């Protein structure tokens, strides 16, 4: 059934229920006798925790449980973030459920309360007293690296993780260079700011099994929660809900360990939903990075050397910081052919909010630095920025800075040219504002690190009436992660989309599909579902071949039917084939597993060879108007061009690019998280400004389909890559407009105004 | 019931009377979600910044977190579930579905309400006016583009829009079906 469903922008499985208001998110569920959970948090950045007194809270009528660290069976865990492969200490963060002995950051959870109403839970929290002996806080990640800095965590120094790239000899490389540019770039914290705050509802079964209905990107955390409670893995079950936005934050455990503890202690259902302020103040953020770059090129425009030192602030616990750092390191030189590369990267602990996964996962940070450097080199060399890039793009068969030889297409020349020409004729600026244009490219990985030995499983059952059931433990964050499995089944098995029932995210009843992170689900669960569908298809075709007396190579599956390709009138209904097989005792169900490409665990902190299954490449071009008097930036147009391999549902693919682009616009221009001595000062959307509909322009999306992806039908992943490239494109456009180049994101009007004021006379 | 801190509130929720006790400082949002179990009204911030809790209240769109439950006593409140049979809302819902305007969907009920409100006031808005019309509703997934496309597609083709506006502004929530029909109510579909 060639391209009947695949490649079509059919509405998503979940779109109707969402439009009607019938779809239930985590906070929409209730149970009789339900209690309300609340987290009591530290109001100090760093202190010795001498004691917690909970008696007054416990005595408040209507309070059913107050839990502190001493009540938690296993309060200190080595977090393994859902994977089943043990990859060693470099990658494992200490994960503490509740503070004990010390407080490391403002807002660190100290106690949990369950009470009969949210107000009572709040009152109980106010009755909890803590004895603290304040410690001097460590707030500057660069300073925290120095010997003698106070130790934030349990390691002998504050460097949680360190990676290197060593390619060629940078000293020799810089000696060959005619031009060397250096720059220090700073990128900020960013809040995920999904619209659905963290939420869940947990209850204990008759046999003591803890059930957790929760908005989570990783239902495999049931294992970690079981370990916290000292229960067998089989006695904790996740029932994931459709997720009201994740962007990486719902990759780490959010509320579920607290819920599990409270439900376990009270044997009653407990709900816990964060307020927006709790979400903004206390949940983890995108890592801020300081990036020192030195890049050299010859006068004929060939890059010869790149040296970079990346420092990320990982906050008070390492969480996913080592992984994010690894991604940033792999991305540090970008998709360029540079013979000599030296990168040193560090994740540094401070007494600040935890930083962890966020769309792009280290790649947007490095991209802003390497693309800024490229732009500066092009200016100095007097080369057109696109042409300079074209002389240096990595080509198929060449090696990334890690030494991994890449055999797939890298169509960056075409992508960047299409994005640039897509801007069309130059507009005219209004009111004396200055017009400018910029372009930048980027790459983003999809699939988890290959040494994690990633797998996914999916189950399909064909019913006797020709309808189908899919079971796959795939969390859906809104990107069509669940829906696309239906499209694959419809394509391969001829089942109409409306006759497919999809079950997702039950950690005990749906086959485990792994995390909805790392832009992996289309590749992983898409391939697992395609594999299952192909096995069923083969069985259907064999039976149909017998019934029609035709070799199976001549048969095709069409809607509800199996037909002879050369004579379409000849055929048999799917229902008949299914019933014949069923009558012979052959039920039509398959559970299939897909394994990602595997590599060995890195032997040292020097990253070498393949680290990811693949990369997605893209380019952005933007036109802006800048008011020189106020520094205000208005974006007139954005063009995005991405090689998506194959767009299985173009509307979904465009939606990922448009949404990722605008999240990147927020990162580049608006989202300014104020942190003073480790305390976040932006507790609402009135202070922390994410883009609204009037802040952003229309985006033209250009899809290139090279068919070269690792996903089903040659698709590449597109969830995270659109976050990469937009920030440098905008900064380049602003520089084109007013002649100032900002190296610290976000590029606020104040920064532009200050830079214009400091610009030497005579320079544009 | 503590007379000082609580009162009995009756609202006409999606044309059905609903009565419950509400706290003096309880928001209409909490009343709708926790008392009436109208969970299609979402809480994204609880302080008027995000728009996920938008409902039609007394003929106007409001962020229900900024209205007290007590203010709604005797008033008519529509959520998107109550407007499912309204031709304009049904068109908008279908257009959102067809245009891929729904990703995580958490902003969708409020966004649909903002779109509905906009088209009632301004049946043929420009793209820029559509952006203005939904500027009080945050979406973190879509970049707004497909939402705007979806609204623009409906804007051109609904001649009945202004009539729908009149019907919902009808001041008498206890009107009989006959009276409602007279007032042009049953654009809502006959019920």
A369 with A267, same domain? Answer: no
Q: What pLDDT shows up at residue A430?
A: 80
Q: Are residues B45 and B97 in the same domain?
A: no
Does residue B95 fall inside a structural domain? yes
Tens-digit pLDDT profile for residues A591-609: 999 999 999 988 889 999 9
- Whether A162 is in a domain gets the answer no
Residues near A648 by beta carbon (within 8 Å), at least 6 away in sequence: A6, A7, A484, A487, A488, A522, A526, A712, A713, A715
| Residue at A116 is within a domain | yes
Task: Say whether both B87 and B121 belong to one domain.
Answer: yes
Task: Calculate how close chain A gets to B157, using CA atoms only, in Å.
Answer: 20
Q: Give the one of B45, B52, B143 whose C-beta lies nearest to A658's C-beta.
A: B143
pLDDT tier for residue A92 given thresholds of 50, 70 and 90 = low
Taking contacts as CB-CB distances below 8 angstroms, the residues of chain A near B45 are 276, 684-685
Asked if residue A563 has pLDDT above 60, the reply is: yes
Rounded to a whole number, what is the distance in Å from the CA of A253 to chain B's nearest CA? 19
- Min Cα distance A672 → chain B (Å) is 16
Q: Which of B81, B131, B145 sits opposite A21 (nearest CB)?
A: B81
Q: How confident is the model at residue B1 (pLDDT cuts 50, 70, 90)?
A: low
Compute the distance between CA of residue B145 and CA of residue A696 in angstroms, rounded to an integer.
9
Q: Is B54 domain-assigned?
A: yes
Mutate to test the interface with A, among B36, B143, B150 (most CBs of A within 10 A): B143
DSSP string, A570-618: EEEEHHHHHHHHHHTT---EEEEEEE----PPPSSSB--S--SSEEEEE
pLDDT recorded at residue B133: 98
Distance of alpha carbon A214 from the chain centroid: 18
For residues B49 and B92, membership in a common domain is answered with no
A14 neighbourhood in chain B, CB within 8 Å = 102, 105
Contact A402, A607 (CB under 8 A): yes
Lowest mean pLDDT among A350-359, B101-110, B150-159: B150-159
Output the six-digit token pair for A195.
């619209």
Taking the C-alpha atoms of residue B175 and residue B70, their distance in angstroms, rounded to an integer, is 22
Contact A478 B105 (CB under 8 A): yes
Tokens at residue B182, please? 């007279």
User: How many of the other CB atoms lie within 10 Å of CB of A663?
Assistant: 27
Cβ neighbours of residue A21 under 8 Å, at least 6 residues apart? B39, B40, B79, B80, B81, B109
Average pLDDT over residues B123-145: 97
* Residue of A193, A244, A693 lying closest to B131 (CB–CB): A693
Residues in B closer than 8 angstroms to A19, CB to CB, are: 80, 93-94, 96-97, 102, 105, 108, 112
Q: Are residues A403 and A533 in the same domain?
A: no
Residue A101 has pLDDT above 60, yes or no: yes
Residue A510 clears pLDDT 90, i.e. is over it = yes
Give me the sheet containing A434-446, strands edge to edge: A434-446, A614-626, A633-643, A699-704
pLDDT of residue B168: 55
- B163 pLDDT more than 70: no
Provide the sign of the torsion angle of the four alpha carbons B118, B122, B127, B133, taken in this order: negative
Instruction: Specify burial of residue A430 (Cβ count, 10 A radius: 0-12, 13-18, 19+).
Output: exposed
B131 reaches A (C-beta below 8 A)? yes
The CATH number given to whatever domain includes residue B148 is 1.10.150.120
Closest chain A residue by Cα to residue B98: A11
Inside any domain, residue B16: yes
A326: Cα separation from own chain's centroid? 14
- Contacts A–B by Cβ distance under 8 A: 166
Answer whether residue B159 shows pLDDT above 60. Answer: no
What is the residue range of A586's domain? 455-595
What does pLDDT average to over chain A? 96
On whether any CB of chain A is under 8 Å from the CB of B76, the answer is no
Q: How far is B49 from chain A (nearest CA, A)?
A: 6
Q: How far is residue A197's CA from residue B123's CA, in Å, rounded to a whole number?
A: 34
Q: Do B76 and B15 lie in a common domain?
A: yes
pLDDT category at B173 given cuts 50, 70, 90 is: very low
Name the residue among B44, B50, B96 with its Cβ closest to that of A19.
Answer: B96
| The pLDDT of residue B181 is above 50 | no
Of B24, B49, B80, the residue at which a domain comes to its end is B80
- pLDDT at position A99: 96
What spatial distance separates the first Cα and last Cα of chain B, rounded to whole Å? 34
Chain B residue numbers with beta carbons less than 8 Å from the beta carbon of A479 are 103, 141
Domain shared by B53 and B105, yes or no: no
Q: How far apart are CA A423 and CA A702, in angstroms?
A: 12
Query: How many domains would you assign to chain B?
Result: 2
Cα dihedral A392→A396→A398→A401 (10° resolution): 70
CA dist A323 and A337 (Å) reads: 24
Phi, psi angle pair for A187, to nearest 5°: -120, 145
The reported pLDDT for the residue numbered A89 is 64
Beta-carbon separation of A659 and B138 below 8 A: no
State mean pLDDT over A427-441: 92
Q: State pLDDT tens for residues A458-483.
A: 999 999 999 999 999 999 999 999 99
Together in a domain, A509 and A432? no
Average pLDDT over residues A326-355: 97
Asked if B122 and B66 sit in the same domain, the reply is no
In a domain, A175, yes or no: no
- The last residue of one of the domains, among B25, B47, B80, is B80
Check residue B179 and give its pLDDT. Answer: 43
Residue A343 falls within a domain, yes or no?
yes
Query: Is the CB of residue A512 less than 8 Å from the CB of residue A220?
Result: yes
- B17 touches B82 (CB < 8 A): no
Do residues B26 and B89 share a domain? no
Whether residue A217 sits in one domain with residue A323: no
Classify residue A143: in a domain, yes or no: no
How far CA B85 is from CA of A333, B14, B80, B95, in Å, comes to 56, 11, 10, 15
> What confidence category does residue A318 fall into, taking pLDDT thresholds of 50, 70 and 90?
confident
Distance from CA of B50 to the nearest CA of A (A): 7
Q: What is the DSSP letter of A336?
A: B
Of the residues B57, B80, B103, the one at which a domain ends:
B80
Residues B49 and B94 in one domain: no
Looking at the complex, does the CB of residue B5 fall below 8 Å from at least one CB of chain A?
no
Please report which confidence band the pLDDT of residue B149 belongs to, taking 50, 70 and 90 as the band edges.
very high
Q: What is the mean pLDDT of residues A363-377?
A: 98
Same domain as B103, residue B35? no
> A693 and B109: CB-CB below 8 Å?
no
Statement: residue A692 has pLDDT above 70: yes
Cβ(A104)–Cβ(A351) below 8 Å: yes
Residue A154 lies in a domain: no
Is B144 within 8 Å of chain A by CB?
yes
B42 in contact with A, Cβ within 8 Å: yes
On whether both A115 and A69 belong to a single domain, the answer is yes
Confidence of residue B66 (pLDDT cuts 50, 70, 90): very high
Same domain, A509 and A632: no
Helix or strand or coil: residue A164? Answer: strand
Report the domain count for chain A. 3
- Position A190 in a domain: no
* CA Rg value for chain A: 27
Task: Tell me whether residue B169 is in a domain.
Answer: no
> Which structural domain range is residue B54 located in?
6-80
Of B44, B99, B104, the CB nearest to A243: B104
pLDDT tens string A50-85? 999 999 999 999 999 999 999 999 998 876 554 555
Chain A residues with CB under 8 Å of B108 CB are: 18-19
> pLDDT per residue over A143-197, tens digit each?
999 999 999 988 888 999 999 999 999 999 999 999 999 999 999 999 999 999 9
Question: Same structural domain for residues B102 and B128?
Answer: yes
Residue ending a domain, among A547, A565, A595, is A595
- A24, A658, A684 member nearest B146 (Cβ): A658
Is A143 strand, coil or helix?
helix
| Confidence at B178, pLDDT banded by 50, 70, 90 | very low
Please indicate, yes or no, if residue B184 is contained in any of the structural domains: no
The CA distance from A435 to A626, in Å, is 7
- Report pLDDT digits (tens) over A201-243: 999 999 999 999 999 999 999 999 999 999 999 999 999 999 9
Tokens linked to A76? 């200190």
Give me the residue from B104, B137, B139 closest to A477, CB to CB: B104
How far apart, in whole angstroms, are the C-alpha atoms of residue A44 and residue A404?
46
By Cβ distance, the residue of B97, B106, B146 closest to A25 is B106
**Residues of chain B with C-beta less than 8 angstroms from the C-beta of A655:** 100, 103, 141-143, 146
Residue at A47 is within a domain = yes
Asked whether residue B41 falls in the same domain as residue B75, the answer is: yes
Q: pLDDT value at position B188?
A: 32
Residues of A whose CB is below 8 A from B140: 192-195, 245, 247, 659, 663, 690
Chain A residues inside the 8 Å CB shell of B50: 195, 276, 685
Q: Are residues A413 and A470 in the same domain?
A: no
Same domain as A217, residue A72: yes
Residue A29's closest chain B neighbor by CA? B39
Rounded to an integer, what distance in angstroms lies between the CA atom of residue A69 and that of residue A52? 9
Do B122 and B133 sit in the same domain of this protein?
yes
- Looking at per-residue pLDDT, the higher value among A359 and A427 belongs to A359
| CA nearest to A523, candidates A710, A248, A720 | A710
In a domain, B185, yes or no: no
Residue B182 has pLDDT above 50, yes or no: no
Whether A19 and B93 lie within 8 Å, measured CB to CB: yes
> Based on the domain organization, do A427 and A467 belong to the same domain?
no
Does B171 score more than 60 pLDDT?
Answer: no
Beta carbons within 8 Å of A310's beta carbon, 6+ residues apart = A289, A290, A291, A325, A328, A329, A332, A343, A344, A345, A346, A365, A366, A369
Q: Which residues of B touch A20 (CB under 8 A)?
A: 40, 80-81, 84, 93
Residue burial A357-374, b: 16+ Cβ < 10 Å; e: rest: bbbbbbbbbbbbbbbbbb
Task: List B residues 152-191 in contact with A (Cβ-Cβ < 8 A).
Answer: none
Per-residue model confidence (pLDDT) at position B190: 26
Residue A760 in this model has a pLDDT that exceeds 90: no
Residues A332 and A463 in one domain: no
Q: What is the mean pLDDT of residues A635-644?
A: 98
Map A502-514 to HEC letters. EEECECCCCCECC
CATH number at residue B33: 3.10.20.30
- Judgement on whether residues A388 and A243 belong to the same structural domain of the protein: no
Residue in B79, B93, B141 closest to A659 by CB: B141
A443 and A459 fall within a common domain = no
B116 CB-near residues (< 8 Å, 6+ apart)? B56, B61, B83, B88, B89, B92
Answer whether B142 touches A (CB < 8 Å): yes
Give the confidence band of A348 by pLDDT, cuts at 50, 70, 90: very high
Q: Do A275 and B100 touch (CB under 8 A)?
A: no
- A-proximal residues of B, 81-100, CB under 8 Å: 81, 84, 93-94, 96-100
> What does R_g of chain B's alpha carbons equal in angstroms?
16
Q: Do B143 and A20 touch (CB under 8 A)?
A: no
pLDDT one-digit tens code per residue, A372-407: 999 999 999 999 999 999 999 999 999 999 999 999
Find the CATH number of the domain harbouring A52: 3.90.1170.50
Give the start-end residues of each E strand in B43-136. Answer: 54-57, 60-63, 76-78
Contact: B49, A20; criterion CB under 8 Å: no
Closest CA of chain A from B147, distance in Å: 10
- Which class for A87: exposed (0-12), middle (13-18), buried (19 or more C-beta within 10 A)? middle
Residue A522 belongs to domain with CATH number:
3.30.365.10
**Span B2-54, pLDDT tens digits:** 777 899 999 999 999 999 999 999 999 999 999 999 999 999 999 999 999 99
Per-residue pLDDT at B70 exceeds 60: yes
Sort out which chain B residues have CB atoms less than 8 A from A22's CB and list them: 40, 81
Phi, psi angle pair for A371, to nearest 5°: -75, -35
Q: Give whole-number Cα distances, A162 to A120, A347, A517, B103, B113, in Å.
A: 46, 7, 23, 37, 50
Q: Is residue B102 part of a domain?
A: yes
Q: Percent of chain A beyond pLDDT 70?
A: 97
Note whether residue B148 is domain-resident.
Answer: yes
A548-555: long-range contacts, CB 8 A cutoff, minimum separation 24: A548/A572
Res A239: pLDDT: 98
- Residue A123 sits at φ, ψ, to 5 deg, of -60, -40
């Amino acid at each position: 059934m060639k391209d009947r469903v695949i490649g079509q922008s059919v509405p998503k499985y979940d779109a109707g229920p969402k439009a009607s208001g019938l779809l239930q998110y985590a906070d929409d569920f209730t149970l009789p006798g339900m209690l309300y959970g609340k987290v009591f948090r530290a109001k100090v950045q760093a202190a010795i925790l001498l004691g917690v007194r909970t008696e007054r809270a416990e005595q408040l009528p209507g309070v059913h449980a107050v839990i502190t660290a001493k009540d938690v069976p296993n309060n200190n865990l080595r977090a393994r973030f859902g994977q089943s492969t043990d990859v060693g200490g470099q990658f494992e963060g200490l994960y503490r459920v509740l503070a004990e002995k010390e407080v490391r950051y403002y807002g660190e959870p100290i106690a949990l309360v369950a009470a009969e109403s949210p107000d009572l839970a709040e009152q109980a929290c106010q009755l909890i007293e803590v004895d603290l002996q304040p410690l001097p806080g460590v707030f500057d990640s660069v300073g925290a690296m120095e010997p003698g800095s106070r130790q934030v965590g349990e390691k002998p120094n504050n460097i949680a993780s360190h990676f290197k790239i060593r390619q060629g000899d940078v000293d020799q490389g810089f000696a060959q260079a005619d031009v060397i540019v250096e720059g220090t770039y700073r990128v900020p914290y960013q809040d995920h700011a999904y619209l659905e705050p963290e939420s869940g509802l947990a209850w204990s079964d008759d046999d003591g099994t803890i059930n957790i209905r929760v908005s989570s990107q990783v239902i495999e955390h049931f294992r970690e929660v079981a370990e916290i409670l000292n229960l067998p893995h089989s006695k904790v079950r996740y029932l994931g809900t459709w997720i009201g936005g994740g962007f990486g934050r719902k990759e780490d455990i959010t509320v579920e360990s607290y819920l599990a503890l409270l439900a376990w202690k009270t044997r009653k259902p407990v709900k816990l939903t964060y307020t927006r302020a709790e979400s903004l103040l206390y949940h983890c953020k995108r890592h801020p990075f300081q990036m020192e770059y030195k890049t050299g090129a010859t006068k004929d425009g060939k890059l010869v050397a790149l040296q970079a030192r990346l420092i990320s602030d990982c906050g008070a616990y390492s969480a996913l910081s080592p992984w994010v750092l690894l991604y940033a390191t792999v991305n540090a030189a970008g998709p360029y052919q540079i013979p000599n590369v030296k990168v040193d990267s560090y994740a540094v602990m401070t007494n600040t909010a935890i930083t962890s996964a966020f769309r792009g996962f280290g790649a947007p940070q490095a991209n802003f630095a390497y693309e800024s450097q490229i732009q500066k080199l092009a200016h100095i060399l007097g080369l057109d920025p696109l042409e300079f890039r074209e002389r240096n793009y990595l080509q198929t068969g060449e090696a990334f800075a890690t030494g991994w030889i890449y055999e797939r297409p890298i169509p960056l020349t075409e992508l960047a040219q299409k994005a640039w020409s897509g801007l069309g004729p130059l507009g005219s600026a209004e009111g004396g504002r200055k017009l400018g244009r910029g372009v930048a490219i980027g790459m983003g990985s999809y699939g988890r690190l290959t040494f994690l030995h990633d797998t996914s499983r999916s189950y399909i059952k064909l019913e006797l009436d020709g309808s189908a059931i899919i079971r796959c433990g795939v969390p859906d964050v809104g990107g069509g992660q669940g829906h696309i499995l239906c499209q694959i089944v419809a394509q391969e098995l001829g089942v109409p989309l409306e006759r497919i029932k999809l079950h997702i995210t039950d950690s005990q009843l749906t086959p485990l599909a792994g995390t909805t992170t790392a832009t992996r689900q289309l590749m992983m669960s898409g391939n697992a579902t395609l594999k299952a569908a192909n096995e069923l298809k083969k069985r259907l075709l064999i039976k149909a071949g017998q019934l029609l007396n035709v070799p199976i190579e001549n048969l095709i599956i069409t809607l509800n039917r199996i037909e002879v390709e050369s004579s379409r009138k000849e055929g048999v209904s799917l229902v008949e084939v299914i019933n014949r097989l069923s009558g012979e005792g052959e039920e039509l169900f398959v559970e299939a597993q897909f394994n990602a490409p595997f590599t060995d665990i890195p032997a040292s902190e020097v990253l070498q060879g393949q680290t990811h299954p693949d990369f997605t490449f893209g380019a952005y071009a933007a036109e802006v108007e800048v008011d020189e008097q106020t520094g205000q930036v208005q974006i007139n147009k954005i063009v995005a061009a991405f090689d998506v391999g194959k767009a299985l549902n173009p509307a979904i693919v465009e939606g990922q690019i448009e949404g990722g682009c605008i999240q990147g616009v927020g990162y580049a221009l608006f989202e300014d998280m104020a942190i003073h001595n480790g305390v976040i000062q932006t507790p609402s959307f009135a202070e922390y400004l994410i883009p609204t509909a009037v802040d952003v322009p229309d985006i033209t999306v250009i899809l290139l389909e090279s068919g070269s992806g690792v996903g089903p039908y040659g698709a590449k992943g597109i969830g995270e890559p659109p976050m990469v490239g937009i920030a440098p494109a905008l900064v380049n456009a602003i520089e084109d407009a007013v002649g100032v180049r900002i190296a610290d994101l976000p590029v606020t009007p104040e920064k532009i105004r200050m830079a214009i004021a400091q610009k030497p006379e005579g320079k544009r | 019931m503590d007379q000082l801190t609580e009162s009995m509130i009756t609202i006409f929720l999606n044309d059905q009377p609903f009565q419950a006790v509400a706290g003096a400082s309880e928001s209409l949002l909490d009343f709708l979600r926790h008392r009436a179990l109208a969970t299609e009204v979402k809480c994204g911030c609880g302080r008027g910044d995000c728009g996920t809790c938008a409902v039609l209240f007394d003929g106007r769109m409001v962020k229900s977190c900024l209205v007290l439950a007590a203010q709604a006593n005797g008033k008519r409140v529509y959520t998107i579930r109550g407007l499912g049979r309204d031709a304009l809302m049904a068109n908008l819902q279908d257009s959102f579905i067809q245009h891929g305007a729904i990703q995580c969907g958490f902003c969708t009920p409020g966004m649909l309400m903002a779109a509905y409100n906009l088209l009632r006031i301004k049946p043929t808005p420009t793209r820029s006016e559509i952006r203005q019309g939904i500027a009080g509703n945050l979406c973190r997934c879509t970049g707004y583009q497909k939402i705007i496309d979806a609204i623009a597609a409906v804007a051109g083709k609904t001649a009945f829009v202004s009539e729908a506006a009149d019907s919902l502004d009808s001041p008498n929530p206890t009107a009989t079906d006959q009276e409602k029909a007279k007032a042009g109510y049953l654009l809502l579909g006959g019920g």
